[in-house]
Amino acid sequence: MTTSAQEAAGYEPDPRRWRALWVTLVAGFMSLLDVSIVVVALPSVQRGLHASPAQVQWVVSGYALAFALALVTAGRLGDALDRRRIFLLALSGFVVFSAACGAAPSITLLVAARLAQGLAAGFMAPQNSALIQQMFRGAERGRAFGFFGATVGISSAVGPLVGGMILALADGAQGWRWIFYVNVPIGILAVLLGRRLLPRTSRSGRGHVDVPGVLLLGLGVLALMFPLVQAGSGGFGRLWWLFLAGAALIVAFARRQRRLVARGTQPLLDPRLFTTVRGYAVGAGVGTLYFVGFSGVWLVFALFYQDGLGFSPLRSGLAVTPFALGSACGAAGAGRLVDRVGRMLTVGGLTAVIVGLGGTALLLRFAPLDIAPWVAAPVLFLGGVGSGCVISPNITMTLRDVPVHMAGAAGGALQTGQRLGAAVGTAALPGLFYLVLGGSDGYRGALVVALGAALVGMAAALALATFDWRRDRQSRQAHGTCPEDVANSPVHARET
């Protein structure tokens, strides 16, 4: 019996499931948008609160750090307790801390509120994918994950545009505060609708949470990410040893999880997700590598357009809008194709992203500056279409065979990898941009080198996706069908 057949036994679709999905997608869109929307407001924040560059950088990096620290633990708590309750509590906290960010009278209080806001977002995020696992089955689950993947991709791509529009409308020294206030009415409405529409989770005796595992994983992720978020103030040089400490802590965490499974105790993150659930390990790897390049390019474009060409935040956001539009189009089509095309869709999407961003880099390097953004728009759109065929299908293929009782932890681990990749990209690519900036080619040369480095991460993701596609094709040829070893996996013994 396949995984889908196992889950279908006793499953009765909730008639409110599609409306409930849109509540979670709106909340997820807000939390992911807040990763990138603030970037264009940093100069205004710095002037308004008389902050130093190092202090204002924590408005972005502090949020990303707290977000990543919470994900796996939050996912496991949702599996063990009640995903609906944790989602609503986290969303309520996100609304409160968004208001606190907007009202912050000093940079210290703003950073503190951003840390709390990131923590709330991290507790909310894994419940999104877990609720999809819980509410949908079969082809409907693929469609729902398609919407979820589109939300992830589009929210990251449109952040600079939305931030620029808000700053343009809320003119004045305090206009940056509306970057945070805009979350409040939308979040309140989502909380009210979520209370009516979201299903509860049956605990089914899975209330154990591995507290030592939480500490090991949390400290490990903190050690790996802290030098990255401090990169702008010399974090690599001063804190390189934390990478070694973080790796050691992650190894200790993995060993503890294997011991817990051997004893029959519920782990924080079941290692069998990576060894027996079809597509999970490869999908997590593809997502992490892709986000190294995907997340960093928006900062590079903002630096090029605003500092190099003197664009306003709104005009800078409009210059990269073709990518966001392409991503929306690609994700809409990919959600319907992923069940038929499979991993080949990701391979094609990654190829299109590499061609699109590579072509954009060359056009911005050699085309006349007054028309370069317009000339680059078509190839940037192509890159966006490719991205829509990467993020959404990859999330679908990574999570669709995960047992429901592990869905929160699995979604949290997947997003933790994406956040780590994003942290690497947002630290390394702007740093490389500034390193090259002093050369004879100026901003154009810096853009080409930084985007070239982003393409290296995407090429690594393409190599991994191609390997998985070829292996799957060979397996189908050998067996005459897709292998369903996952159905006999021990992790399915307690499927809900």
The pLDDT value recorded for residue 117 is: 95
The pLDDT value recorded for residue 192 is: 95
- In the chain the first and final C-alpha atoms are separated, in Å, by 15
Q: Which CATH class is domain 12-200+268-488?
A: mainly alpha
The pLDDT value recorded for residue 203 is: 56
**Which tokens in the block code for residue 270?**
């079941």
d(CA 100, CA 105): 10
Other Cβ atoms less than 10 A from the Cβ of 448: the count is 21
| HSE, side-chain direction, 13 A CA sphere, residue 224 | 23
d(CA 275, CA 266): 17
With b for 16 or more beta-carbon neighbours within 10 A and e for fewer, the 174-187 pattern comes to: ebbbbbbebbeeeb
Other Cβ atoms less than 10 A from the Cβ of 494: the count is 14
Per-residue pLDDT of the chain (496 residues; tens, 9 = 90+): 444 444 555 567 778 889 999 999 999 899 888 877 887 788 888 888 988 877 887 888 788 888 888 888 888 888 878 889 999 999 999 999 999 999 999 999 999 999 999 999 999 988 888 888 888 887 787 788 778 877 877 787 777 788 888 888 887 778 889 999 999 999 999 999 999 999 876 654 455 677 888 889 889 888 888 887 776 666 667 788 888 998 999 999 999 989 988 888 878 888 888 888 888 889 999 999 998 888 788 888 888 888 888 888 788 888 888 998 888 888 878 877 877 888 899 999 999 999 999 999 999 988 888 888 889 999 999 999 999 899 888 888 888 788 877 788 888 888 888 888 887 887 788 878 888 887 667 888 899 999 999 999 999 999 999 998 888 787 777 765 544 444 444 444 444 4
Would you list the domain boundaries of the chain?
12-200+268-488, 210-267
- Residue type at 221? V
Angle (CA) 96-100-103 rounded to 5° is 140
Comparing CA positions, the residue from 325, 320, 293 lying closest to residue 309 is 320
Give the DSSP H or E segment for 171: none
The pLDDT value recorded for residue 440 is: 65
pTM of the shown model: 0.80
